[in-house]
Structure 1
């Protein structure tokens, strides 16, 4: 009996059954669709309604001011707004894929609204040309539109995500086309939109770069509709025929005579199997074979094409016309003896405690898995919950007798149906079929639920399906903050935390950023304190003016990049002294600032050290600057930079002098400045840039080399150079310039404090043996004399001096030195033997 009642609702189109269950009884009051412009979103989306200003209508209790109303698919009001947009008459109204309502007015301005009837900025203009020509008609697709103007030109927005209008090729029309349709970009090889214009007895295909005439002789066409996959075109001709043609116009798929030359008000595809034509009070469904199906209505209709059927909206109801799935036919078709029908019947007998249940199961034993699958699939396609339950019970009953069956399939279907039943509730009003749900996907559905502010349902579904709940709770929190302006910050924080803590790892910083964006800075500061990730917390603290807290959090995190971010932010916004005070008490921040400033901001760093009383650090900076100044190439040519260098060093010396711990540095700085000044004077007097930045010893040596003995003596006296060093420097300097007379004279001035050995070495190094002989005899130590004679090759004298030293080891070394000289070797060996003998005796 149940099977008969179910199948009785179906209509047969050739060999396919169709059904048209009522999904909702519309909840709106006194709605007359014939008086309004209506836009219904696919996938069970919202319905936008606005009074049609092109019609003279009778006003009832409503205001004369037009209002845009948005309802869910069950007619439950969602939002409304007064329509007061400039730009002339409303020409087109449609929804995009992301459920943004697009409204096009006469001057080509495109207004966009969200589901809450709030205007989405910015508005879009179709361009100056479109503005001047006036829009006559609009054709929309999932995410774009084309506009036709009074001047027969076509303007297009290919994608609302990047709303850049462009003008298509000039179709060269002299009168307005009879009908317009669009092939979406994703269905074309070129990736560009194609606009089909019904002109005379053919169709013009207009693209951005050209116009093509196709289908000559098939028209004139009064109405066109492109199939969902872009491959077929349904058209209504002037003589009352329905033609279904391939979109390349290569062949006619089928033709049907509608027995009426009056074009239908609406022409729509029902899936890919049939075409719907709607005239006033009659809906005709035509398939490729067999007689059409007629439905009669006494109220206006709006056809809403879906991927698997058509939703039919009237003043009082929402119906869903679609093909009956094969699984449902196998169970409920009158007289069906297929395994699925017998399994369904077996459940009925089982409930009645009839033995016929067992008989049915035995009949389908080998086909039981297929029967179970058919029952599960049929349950998924049902909108009636009691029927879903019965079908699933039949599947469960059959599973009990199957050893080889996928149990997961049953559980997945139960999950999907629970989700679908939840969103089909008239309060939510999203009448998705299972096919639409699979195509839409659960995350997108959840996104639509939260955009409609049905957060609890979205949260429950996310939790049930094991999806990330963060996106739902985040959106709820932001929405709650926006809608709770009357609640004080502390109370609202408590409400928010109660929900936010449900999701671990949620971004409190993002919620705080939203609070800040709507002017609730105190609430933002309270929220951001709960953010566990410093990388998110610190930038937000800076944006809401909590610099001190941001610095504390950054230093506590130990992340130097974050600390630098805060430092640079505060540095730009705060006066120097306030900035110095903030970082002084925080070692990490202070050290990082000092490290950076040492490389790039010396002046600022000096101010910091001065403000904190670190005079020695300022002095070291000044000294470093003096050295940097010395590296300047100009510092060695004419020395214009020596003056500033010396002043920097003197400033450093004065600062060092302020602290007892840096007496050495103070004295060194004083000496350095004095030396630089002396070297500067020498460069000026000698006109040779060779003194600055050399040592005192090098300065003295250079003066002697240049013959300026008076200047060398002055440097020696000014810097209290010890006598020994003075003698060493002068000896080798005179040897360098080979002034042997001056060297001899210098050696005779007084007994040299360094002895005569340096004189000998200087002469030997200069390869002047004769000069060396003047000083070797004066060496007091016989070992030194022996070694010096040996170095200039005088073996006998070396042997004599060595014998005086009575040093056998020295004689051995000299023997090795004179090894090629047999005579010298013999003398040295004799002396060494003698010393050995004396030592033994």
Structure 2
């Protein structure tokens, strides 16, 4: 049984509310710097999770200034009363209506004309905005905050909502008109995460019930419960604590289905503050009196000599007075099981056994034997209880008891013990009055270690944040980076070289730190020279090059990108510089001309996507032949564009492009062939274009000279065909071949015959024979086959028209045994033909024929 004097004194500090114990230890004795903050004369906003306190003199009250300045100051303190920052409040817009901290520790101040001013934890002004014209015209009567949102009620009883302050430009939503004549008696909000719609719901105490106002409509609930003077929504959004006009405290589900609890207070005067203490009790505060009411039993009353502020937390309520910070919470079950007077639970006996062991009493062994089977449970309870304590000595004793019990229990996992030790070291560090973040273990688990680190660095507690990240194995880079950026911001009087040395001496100790991010911050603060020096320290080109571009160090960025060999980076820089130098193209071309890799990549890109820029580059660099080749490529692209054929036949776009290419080729001695080819090409296009105009048939352009001649003959344009022949100096042999096959194509055998008799064909009669045979005209072919002088050609011609004897005779005249053998195979199915070849074999005795 735990019966020591220490145990009794611990339990004596508790208050019993029905069957639950509550305690109210003092966390801090507040100093407030050089002066004490009189909470009666100030408007105060306190952030949850042990966050900062903002205070400003209340301009709605007439106060005696004593020795302080008549100018109001907005002051920001830690929860332990350490001044973090202050700024003179000279904001226009009328009376300050509301002030609260967001989840991101941004202080939001709403003034009467609808303007919203925001500050960070160092009292640095952040972008302000206005809620709307109607708020400016009517004035704001009251406002309510949650998380990162705000609801305001105008003096005309209109409701406006700012759903999320984290947006760059917070939007304002007008809710449905509640249509009430008198101002609401009280206002509360249900956070979006607890509503069915996922949007905030505004509760207005109006008449004898409550109006639930949303963007889409208004609903009246709780008829007959009011009028309500004060409302507070529970932490989980399920319940509403309300104070009625006749002095009753009601606890109602937020759907107003029933009254769960009712308590009649001694006073009908509404409390100054109404707050939930966890989920088991409700606090009501009148001047000097704090009343804690539970679901059953008599309430617990506390008396204060001065004014207090209630700060609801997820597991209790912090109580701020002018001199101290207290924490009122339900005593955890593990703590009750150990320290409750006359407790005989295993954890209490283990704790008592440690005390006997320290006194070298045999009673320790007796206690351990009593709880042998429950020892693991007792150890876990002591560990859990240690996590809920603020006093270091009590944490130490409870953990020592747990360690003592572990020595006699091999079945318990020791990870829980080590994890609790780590957690308590972190919590004790941030609870230190110099830091002033009085987190409980429950709050710490909900907040998470990364968020705590972020809050420490925002408060410029970089050293502690770094130690904690190292201890917990978290990413240290975010702390180092924030420290470096903060150092730059606060060192405006330090010259760049000295500040660079300070930064590099620290940053080089941590591998992987991005100098580029620090350099970007320096540039944003107007220290471009420092930014450039920091970029030189960045080993990663992927981070270094974009930052060099952002600080206008284009040439250096291009050199670094080329050195990296990363084509994507080089293209990034090239495009950026190219875009900036659109009006100074020559400068850009001259710059890349001396950088082979950048130049080649530029050429590769523009060759595919931007011929015009590539042509300009080649022209300025004197590469005329390359420009000419590009022009020829463009001419072919114009050929597939139907718009290219429009316009004058002599001055069509393709012809002009090819002429330009020809002229450029003529400028170089090495490209005589290309020059002549381009010249002939443009001449041919002119001729073909003229032929298409005269024939009204789009069949000439982009065909060859041979095809142009052949098409003219087919169409009966013999004179045009002769002109093309003359213009392009087509040889006589080629002319005969083209004309013969063109006439055969249109079956003009008569003209073909006359053409063969004009003079002796320079090609011989072979083209005539082939044209007739290809045209299936055996009789026409026989007109020309006898005129063939080459016996082999004559034999093959007879073979093609199926005349075996004639073929054999021609083959025998040629004395070509191989030809004769092949002809025998060809005519092998014909018995008569076979006998002819046998006779020839016997007569000529060709050894190759068998």
Contact 1:634–1:641 (8 Å) recurs in 2: no
Map 1:645-660 onto structure 2 (within 5 A): 645-660=654-669
- More moved, 406-415 vs 554-563: 554-563
Q: How far apart in 2 are the matches of 1:76 and 1:526? A: 37
Map 1:338-353 onto structure 2 (within 5 A): 338-353=345-360
Look up the match of 2:126: 120
Superposition deviation, residue 714 in structure 1? 4.7
- More moved, 716-725 vs 585-594: 716-725
Q: How far apart in 1 are the matches of 2:536 and 2:738? A: 71
Show CA shifts across 1:499-547 (max 9, x none).
3334433333222222222212222222233334433332222221111
Show CA shifts across 1:622-681 (max 9, x none).
222233333343555786365543443333233223333323223322333344444455
Classify 1:192/1:764 alpha carbon distance in 2 versus 1 (closer, same or farther; 3 Å): closer
Look up the match of 2:215: 208
> Which of these residues, 150, 155, 163, is aligned with residue 155 of structure 2?
150
Classify 1:832/1:170 alpha carbon distance in 2 versus 1 (closer, same or farther; 3 Å): same
Residue 763 (1) aligns with residue 788 (2): no
Contact 1:812–1:832 (8 Å) recurs in 2: no
- More moved, 413-422 vs 282-291: 282-291
Look up the match of 1:456: 463
Q: How far apart in 1 are the matches of 2:54 and 2:150? A: 17
Look up the match of 2:23: 19
Look up the match of 2:785: 776
Look up the match of 2:401: 394
Show CA shifts across 1:564-623 (max 9, x none).
222221112121111112222333322222222223322221121122221210111122
Look up the match of 1:581: 590
Residue 724 (1) aligns with residue 733 (2): yes
Superposition deviation, residue 211 in structure 1? 3.5
Look up the match of 2:620: 611
Map 1:423-572 onto structure 2 (within 5 A): 423-572=430-579
Superposition deviation, residue 123 in structure 1? 1.9
Q: How far apart in 2 are the matches of 1:837 and 1:5? A: 138
> Which of these residues, 101, 111, 118, is aligned with residue 105 of structure 1?
111
Q: How far apart in 2 are the matches of 1:61 and 1:831? A: 144
Classify 1:760/1:393 alpha carbon distance in 2 versus 1 (closer, same or farther; 3 Å): same
What secondary structure, in the 3-state scheme, does the structure 1 residue paired with 2:213 have?
strand
Q: How far apart in 2 are the matches of 1:386 and 1:838? A: 125
What secondary structure, in the 3-state scheme, does the structure 2 residue paired with 1:313 have?
strand
Superposition deviation, residue 765 in structure 1? 2.6
What secondary structure, in the 3-state scheme, does the structure 1 residue paired with 2:260 have?
strand
TM-score by length of 2: 0.93
Look up the match of 2:419: 412
- More moved, 719-728 vs 364-373: 719-728
- More moved, 519-528 vs 654-663: 654-663
Superposition deviation, residue 713 in structure 1? 4.4
Residue 698 (1) aligns with residue 742 (2): no
Structure 1 gap ranges (5+):
none
Look up the match of 1:171: 178
- More moved, 738-747 vs 381-390: 738-747
Superposition deviation, residue 385 in structure 1? 0.8
What secondary structure, in the 3-state scheme, does the structure 1 residue paired with 2:494 have?
coil
Give the root-mean-square deviation of aligned CA atoms: 2.6
What secondary structure, in the 3-state scheme, does the structure 2 residue paired with 1:17 have?
strand
Q: How far apart in 2 are the matches of 1:636 and 1:239? A: 95
Look up the match of 1:32: 38
Classify 1:713/1:153 alpha carbon distance in 2 versus 1 (closer, same or farther; 3 Å): closer
Contact 1:637–1:689 (8 Å) recurs in 2: no
What secondary structure, in the 3-state scheme, does the structure 1 residue paired with 2:657 have?
helix
Superposition deviation, residue 227 in structure 1? 1.6
Classify 1:725/1:511 alpha carbon distance in 2 versus 1 (closer, same or farther; 3 Å): same
| Count of residues in correspondence between the two structures | 839
> Which of these residues, 37, 55, 62, is aligned with residue 56 of structure 1?
62
Show CA shifts across 1:812-832 (max 9, x none).
433344456543432232112
Contact 2:315–2:329 (8 Å) recurs in 1: yes
Q: How far apart in 2 are the matches of 1:426 and 1:814? A: 117
Classify 1:718/1:232 alpha carbon distance in 2 versus 1 (closer, same or farther; 3 Å): closer
Contact 2:500–2:530 (8 Å) recurs in 1: yes
Superposition deviation, residue 133 in structure 1? 1.9
Q: How far apart in 1 are the matches of 2:744 and 2:245? A: 122
Superposition deviation, residue 269 in structure 1? 1.4
What secondary structure, in the 3-state scheme, does the structure 2 residue paired with 1:373 have?
helix
What secondary structure, in the 3-state scheme, does the structure 1 residue paired with 2:367 have?
helix
Q: How far apart in 2 are the matches of 1:685 and 1:14? A: 113
Look up the match of 1:799: 808
Q: How far apart in 1 are the matches of 2:761 and 2:222? A: 122
Classify 1:623/1:400 alpha carbon distance in 2 versus 1 (closer, same or farther; 3 Å): same
